Structures are given as structure tokens and as C-alpha cells.
Amino acid sequence: MEVVREDIDKLNALLKVKVVPADYKRKVELKLESHRKQANIPGFRKGFVPMSLIKKQYGTSVLFDEVSKMVSEAINKYISTEKVDILGNPMPKDGDGFEGDFSNPSDFLFTYEIGLPPKIDVSISRKNKFIYKEVEIDDALIKKQSEDIRRRYGKLESAELVGKNDMVLGRFVELNTDKSVKEGGVDHTATVSLEFLDSDKVRKKFVGKKVGDVLNVNPDDLSKGPKDKAAMLGVKEDELDGIGKKFTFTITEIKCMNFAELNEELFLKLYPDESVKDEKTFNDRIKSDLEQMFAKDSDRLLHKVVFDELMKKIKVNFPEAFLKRWIKQVNEKPLTDEVLEKEFDGYLKMLKWQLIEKAIFESHDVQIDQQELVDYTKSLLIQNYTNYGAPVPDEEELDKNARKFLQDKKQVDSILGRLAEDKLIELCKNTATLKPKKVKYDDFIKEFN
């Protein structure tokens, strides 16, 4: 059996597999003999059916199966032995991808198309300059974090008048356009958290009100979208179209959050090691904790910067016609040309980044072995156990759980992606030139949108 490669251009090639009778004759005979031993045909004892009858009944299908298997194995061996880097999988050439006749077997010629990846030469060095954005931990951010902590450990108490950040419990009653109560309309009790309202104008309508006061409200102003609105009014989301925008809201209860005092009791709850003694050391600790927390986000943002810059800088072409055929062939569900065209640019973008990342890792001899994948998965599992307050299993059980988790290909791909991202970040921090830049918290958050 002979496999020959014919390059069409830098991105497309053909693999031609020539199969002669000497390649398949013996295998087909053995397979037919096996059929003969197992065949149950009326008029013949088992194992004594004439071979001519077996060939007539099974010959063509056996020949097709054996030759197809041999061709597949030959192509895979050729790609492996010759270290041919391909995109997707080899596909039979349309139209003239096969020469021969299984009904009158002799020589066969199979022609397969293969897509070749573009050559990418890229590495990371001090010449690569990337901006490394860090959150500016200023007094305002420290104050906000301090208030969040104090709120978390504070107490919810009743109040006489509504404050700008209070929780107001009340009764929603739906009205007609003439402001009369709508018969059969919404009548539901719910809580409005003024702190989370988007409009200061709407918030001011509540401030200073007391229990028993009635306000005219639009539920859209008090909710965060359809799902939240439906929950607030006690209806199903698909019922919202039949509900108006005019409501009365009668205040039945007012709750305000009294922040925890900055004292020794709070400090001991937060830091049992007694490392925080007063407001100054408390604020210092907040600053340190925020710096550690945002450091991981800065790393993620660095990966985004590297991604954007390399994707923009590196220009490549792909065997697009081949890839479109291959995607349609391997897709689990039928894929229309319209849908494919719509999603194809996103696919090429993902493929381009995979090739860039692969080239960088090869250039720096960065590898991910199986044990490293298992260890990384174990660390993620430990993190999940901790987040949910569950006990971490012993090492043997943890290793078993990680390997079981990695039997799911989707999980493997996801974890490989995260591990590769971490490795690229580490490589850039150690090898590239990073230009630190302090940014305000709000601007930093916008970078992830």
C-alpha cells in the first residue's frame, strides 16, 4: 500500500492511497472464512457452506470494510510517521476521491483532502511590551470595602422614616389608566431595596416617607428586568405583557441597616489572629487584601491584552473552503450555510489563537503533562469544596475524583484552557516587559466587559 502527498498550495494538500490486491486479498479471505464458519444457511451444515455462496452474499461488503479500514489506518500512520500537522481530519475528495470497483476488485485509489495550518513564528521576549493594569487602591475604595464589611456584620432594624439605602416593605396594587383599582389586577406584597435602584429620582420619592404612606409607582423603575419584575409582583414572567405600569405602593414596614461598629469585637470576628487592633490597621489590612484579590484580575487582564495585541499583529490565512466542509461534516446537527457563515469568523478567531498559543509554547518548551492536568484539577476541586464549606477528602479520594472528572472531554478542554492561560500569563510576567499602570476601580471593571 502506498500513500503519496501532493501539495496544492501552502494550506491545502491531497493524500492519495493506492491499494492493490496483494494488500487486501489475504485479509478478505480470512474474514470470509470466519463468516463461513459462523453462517447458518438452510440446506448446509454450519461451517460447510460453499465459499462461492459466502463470497456472493458477503464478498463485496467484506471487501469494502477491510479496504476502508486499511486506508484509514494507512492515512493515520502516514500523518503520525511523517509528523504532518493538519487542521481537522482528512476528508474524501469531492467527486473524484475514489477510483475502482468493489464489484470487480483490482487496484483502488483513494484521494483525501487535508487542511494545513499556517506557519506561525512567535515567541515572547523583552521586546514584547504589554501594559499591566492594576487597581488603584485609594481611600474611596478602602472606605467602600470597609462599609461593605460593616454592613455584612451589621443589624437590620426598624425605622420610622425611609432612608436612601433602606429596605421598604409594601403592597403593590395595580391601577387602571384612570388610576382606579384594576379588578382582578395585581395585589402583592414585596420588598424594594432602595440601595440598588438605578434612578436617584425614583429613590428620592421614597426618602422621608413613613409607614402607611402611599406612592404612585411604575414597577419598571423598581426592578432589574423582566425576571426581577415578575418576582416582585408575584406573577409569572410570561404574564407581564398583560400587566400595566400604574401601581400604588403602600408602605407597611421600613428596615434600615445599622453598620457594625469598628471596635475590638468586630476585629476579632474578622481576624482571630488579633493582627488588627484599630481602624488604621483595619484599613491597612483591607488594602492588602484588595491588592491580593485584584492581582489575579490583573493577570486575567494581562492575558486579554496579550491576546488582543498578538491577534492584531499576527496575520494568517486558513484553508477556509476545506474547514467549512469539515465543520459541516463533523457537526452533530445539520448546519446550514447561513448559520455556518455567521459563526465562521468566530471559529477562525478561536483557531488562530490556538495556533498562536501553540507556537508560543513550542518556542519556549512549555508543556502540559497528564499529572500536571490532574494536579490542577485537584486544586480546583479543593477550591470548590472550600467555597461550599464541604470537607476536603483525603489525597487518594481527591486524586480519584480528579481523574473521574477528567473523563469528560468538555471538562478536559475547559481545564486545559485555564491551565494554558495560567502558563501564558506566567511566561509573559517572567519574560516580557510589563508596563504597570494604575487605574481606577470602575475603569478596571470596564476592561472585562
Q: What are the residue boundaries of the structural domains of the chain, listed by start?
A: 2-115, 155-258, 285-446
Read off the pLDDT of residues 63-86 as tens digits, 9 standing for 90 and up.
999 999 999 999 999 999 999 999
Q: Are strands 433-439 and 129-135 parallel, antiparallel or unpaired?
A: parallel
Half-sphere exposure of 231 (CA within 13 A, CB side): 9
Contact of 255 with 167, CB cutoff 8 Å: yes
Q: Which residue has the higher pLDDT, 12 or 42?
A: 12
What CATH number was assigned to the domain covering residues 2-115? Answer: 3.30.70.1050
- Whether pLDDT at 266 is above 90: yes
Contact of 358 with 350, CB cutoff 8 Å: no
Helix (H, G, I), strand (E, B) or coil at 107: coil
Query: Which of these, 201, 126, 122, 208, lies nearest to 163 by C-alpha position?
Result: 208
Mean pLDDT calculated for residue range 392-406: 91
Check residue 285 and give its pLDDT.
95
Q: Which amino acid, residue 264? A: E
Residue 358 buriedness (CB in 10 A; 0-12 / 13-18 / 19+): middle
Residue 47 buriedness (CB in 10 A; 0-12 / 13-18 / 19+): exposed
Looking at 3.40.50.1100, 3.40.50.2300, 3.40.50.1780, 3.10.50.30, the CATH number of the domain 155-258 comes to 3.10.50.30
Cα–Cα distance for residue pair 311/347, rounded to 1 Å: 14
Please give the share of the chain, as a percent, with pLDDT higher than 70.
Answer: 100
Cα–Cα distance for residue pair 419/175, rounded to 1 Å: 56
For residue 441, CA distances in Å to 22, 223, 288, 292 come to 73, 26, 15, 14
State the average pLDDT for the chain.
93
Read off the pLDDT of residues 112-167 as tens digits, 9 standing for 90 and up.
999 999 999 999 999 999 999 999 999 999 999 999 999 999 999 999 999 999 99
Band the pLDDT of 286: cuts 50, 70, 90.
very high
